[in-house]
Structure 1
Amino acid sequence: MRDPKNLLRSSYSFNRRRLLTGFGATALGGSLSGVVRAETLHHSVADAPVANAASPEDSVPHLGLHQAGVVNARPANGMVASFDVLARDADELEALFRTLTARIAFLTVGGPVPMLDPKLPPADSGLLGPVVRPDNLTITLSLGASLFDDRPWLAPLKPKHLTRMTRFPNDALDADICHGDLSIQICANTQDTTIHALRDIIKASSRQMILKWKQEGNVPVITPGPDGRAESARNFLGFRDGSANPDSSDAAEMDRVVWVGPDEGEPAWATGGSYQVVRIIRNFVERWDRTPFGEQERIMGRAKMTGAPLDRREGSEFDVPDYASDPEGKATPMDAHIRLANARDEASRANIILRRPFNYSNGVTRSGQLDQGLLFICYQANLEQGFITVQRKLNGEPLEEYIKPVGGGFFYTLPGIRDASDYVGSSLIAAARGA
């Protein structure tokens, strides 16, 4: 059973502006009775940012049972940065965690930048000017398998399912943009805010960790329709990316899907955390753009313009495909992406993940092709039952001809910072000292 007290659920909080303007993406579980229905609309992670809604004063609380940046809706910009950690013992790791907590506390709340003696380096990069505003910033810290594997005093405390990211059949992983001891997900309304936060963290922790790789991305801003409902944003293949995500405003559903509870066989310190998967997935957009429209839809399993499932073309992305009425795949092919990823039966409920993706565009490859794709991020309480199982189902799918995962890693998102006297990772440090 999950924590019945639901302590400090500030990480579920949304600023007032987004509560008034955001409308929802969908829950992943379909109708098990075979009755097709439109899914209930809620404000969710998959919602695209709403036009003319963001403000520099938007803020997300950084204190709570869980870290911010997991279940709250994506702002327009995000990045993942991976670091090698230099800490040799619990004291040094605690010092790093406290440093990061202090920077999170300032950057997500904002305030005037201290003015120092001009003969000294400035206290801040100045990228945001003399006053730092929160700008919907979240900073989420997660630990890689190598942090535990390379330190005997931490190894017994490694989360049960945490491993180095394995190579799947369609992967072409570049070692320079894979893995790491610590991942930091940074999300905000504007790119300047995410870059400012990264530079601030690097400056504050330069003696404690070294940047290994980073990938930036963004989410297209959407204008709501006449009914006030915002659609999911499109990825670089032109399809909506976020349809059929679980409802991240449903605390009970997030306890089931995302957050690790005390009864799941994990080390006690890990309660309240989650498994994070990061995948840098290149899209072969030139090849895709030369593929017939109908074939694109059959590969994905959705109507390209509306996002509706192929057995309900008159509907919308919020409608649920009825696979029970299409057992031979005449409407939605059996190897369509959405059908392989989620069969919408009782068994597949155990494999639901919370997706939080961003589009990326890195320029041009040496072969003269656009380097574009998806910064795929997802969270789940069980890495094996979640992403790994879903990816195995997708191995060999027709979509593989048009995508190539090239980087990323598996990480464990630390439990939240419970109050102002706490720091991120405190439960791990206490467990390490106790051991």
Structure 2
Amino acid sequence: MRCDRAGDGHAAARGDGRREFLRCAAGVAGVAAAGGLGGEAVAAGRPAAGRDGRRDLPDRVPFHGHHQAGVVTPQQLCAGFIGFDVLAEDRDGLVELFQKLTHRSRVLTGGVKPRDERVSSERPTPDSLTITLGVGASLFDDRYGLSGHKPRHLKAMPAFPDDRLEPSRCHGDLSLQICAEHPDAIVHVLRDLARETDGLLRPRWRANAFLNPSRPSGARRNLLGFKDGIVNPDTDSGREMDRLMWVTPPCGEPEWALGGCYQVLRLIRFHVEKWDKVPLRRQERIFGRHKASGAPLDGRHETDAPDYRHDPHGRIIPLDSHIRLANPRTHKTDDSRFLRRSYNYDEGFDHKGGMDLGLVFCGYQQDPERQFATVQRRLEHEPLSRFITPVGGGYFFVLPGVRDEDDWFGSHLLQKA
């Protein structure tokens, strides 16, 4: 299944773009300031650090670099994920859009409020803000002459067997991930970009997201009550990142893509009313972890590695448990690991009175087919699938970083294509 792009007539829709953008920004105001699915981050590496499960986060995250910020950056408390359709009429308009996005991102990450909106005595408040830009497969159609320059593995996210994808919540020409310590910073960014890119962008879907407080310590919990994101690849290891994350020359990608990576976004709804009727012991066997401590069922601490070799028949940790399917911890499955940077969402109630909450799954990797899709196929029809439903998201390619003051998002792609 491929969720269709928004209809044709980009030029005719330009007048509606800013109004829709501002409605998108207003929705983000409901984000709670307070992290992603059952503790197994499809990885085996360094555990989260600190009492609250987060590594040290600088007040100001550098904007310039070989890679974009917001990927290996320790998670901020609040996030906004938005998929956009591009309304630029031609290549020049697309260049203008990317340059504007770069300029405003550079200004905003330096202090959230631009100088013309602050009194002279007010200090900058960077709020650990990061703005991360990705491109979708649809940007590489025939509108801008980019069809021959698409990243090798970039395509519309397919529907997997347990998905119920809603077309209005899927895909996009661009993805924007905005993360900060407070929700008003995310709203401010969206308002600023709506003003500066008027007529060039139209929001397609968005998700407001947050991290739960760490209770009592260690990894944070998702809205099913289990600790999540306990382990991930070692982001401090250049060798590990070049093997699992960043696009490097051996990957065979276009030259302009070097230093980028693939982003998989999944909007996953939790059926909490049904889940809350499941006895605790059954919940723990579905996940493969103790709910209170986060430890695997054969361990005592959340950072303990499950010992599958001494439990070959799944008597302690079931063979179909989430953590065992997601990461079997074998040499053969090691290359399917990827970095997870997921958040919770809560959208209130649906029209039937059900609670609309769940997970904004965010995964970064070098090859979504080798990594995310391979893991997803292992998880098909797992016991947990009866309590969760993926409803949206998309595959995107995170552009290489902006190198310096003279560079801009997508410069190598748009100048050489």
Residues 47 and 230 in structure 2, CA contact (< 8 A), matched pair in contact too: no
**How far apart are the structure 2 equivalents of 1:100 and 1:360?**
26
Residues 113 and 130 in structure 1, CA contact (< 8 A), matched pair in contact too: no
Out of 220, 223, 248, the position equivalent to 1:236 is 223
Unaligned runs of 5+ in 1: 1-24, 31-38, 116-122
SS for the counterpart of 2:250 is coil
Write out the 4+ residue segments of structure 1 that deviate beyond 4 Å after TM superposition: 25-30, 39-44, 111-115, 129-132
The answer for the alignment partner of 2:212 in structure 1 is 220
Which amino acid in structure 1 is aligned with residue 228 of structure 2? D
SS for the counterpart of 1:311 is coil
The answer for the alignment partner of 1:169 in structure 2 is 161
Instruction: State yes or no: 1:251 paired with 2:238.
Output: yes
5 Å-filtered alignment, 1:123-134, equals 133-134=125-126
Instruction: State yes or no: 1:197 paired with 2:225.
Output: no
Q: Deviations over 1:364-409 (max 9, x none)?
A: 0112111110011110001101111111110110001100011111
Instruction: State yes or no: 1:276 paired with 2:263.
Output: yes
The answer for the alignment partner of 1:390 in structure 2 is 375
TM-score (norm 1): 0.82
Out of 291, 295, 299, the position equivalent to 2:278 is 291
5 Å-filtered alignment, 1:395-434, equals 395-432=380-417
Q: Deviations over 1:294-348 (max 9, x none)?
A: 1101100111111111112xx2111101111111011111100011111100111
1:149 Cα offset (Å): 2.5
Residues 41 and 339 in structure 2, CA contact (< 8 A), matched pair in contact too: no
The answer for the alignment partner of 2:348 in structure 1 is 363
Which amino acid in structure 1 is aligned with residue 86 of structure 2? V
Residues 270 and 414 in structure 1, CA contact (< 8 A), matched pair in contact too: yes
Out of 147, 153, 157, the position equivalent to 2:149 is 157
Residues 43 and 247 in structure 1, CA contact (< 8 A), matched pair in contact too: no
**How far apart are the structure 1 equivalents of 2:400 and 2:273?**
42
- Closer, same or farther: CA 375–112 of 1 in aligned 2, 3 Å: closer
**How far apart are the structure 1 equivalents of 2:347 and 2:357?**
6
Tell me the C-alpha RMSD between the 2 structures: 2.4
**How far apart are the structure 2 equivalents of 1:397 and 1:41?**
25
The answer for the alignment partner of 2:25 in structure 1 is none
The answer for the alignment partner of 1:300 in structure 2 is 287
1:43 Cα offset (Å): 4.7
1:68 Cα offset (Å): 0.2
- Closer, same or farther: CA 163–282 of 1 in aligned 2, 3 Å: same
- Closer, same or farther: CA 91–413 of 1 in aligned 2, 3 Å: same
Residues 26 and 246 in structure 1, CA contact (< 8 A), matched pair in contact too: no
1:181 Cα offset (Å): 0.2
1:48 Cα offset (Å): 3.7
Out of 104, 128, 141, the position equivalent to 1:136 is 128
Unaligned runs of 5+ in 2: 1-38
The answer for the alignment partner of 2:310 in structure 1 is 325
The answer for the alignment partner of 1:86 in structure 2 is 87
Residues 41 and 340 in structure 2, CA contact (< 8 A), matched pair in contact too: no
Q: What fraction of aligned residue pairs are identical, expressed as a percent? A: 46
**How far apart are the structure 2 equivalents of 1:155 and 1:355?**
29
5 Å-filtered alignment, 1:38-53, equals 40-41=46-47, 43=49, 48-49=53-54
Instruction: State yes or no: 1:98 paired with 2:99.
Output: yes
Residues 49 and 222 in structure 1, CA contact (< 8 A), matched pair in contact too: no
Residues 340 and 393 in structure 1, CA contact (< 8 A), matched pair in contact too: yes
Residues 48 and 220 in structure 1, CA contact (< 8 A), matched pair in contact too: no
- Closer, same or farther: CA 382–28 of 1 in aligned 2, 3 Å: same
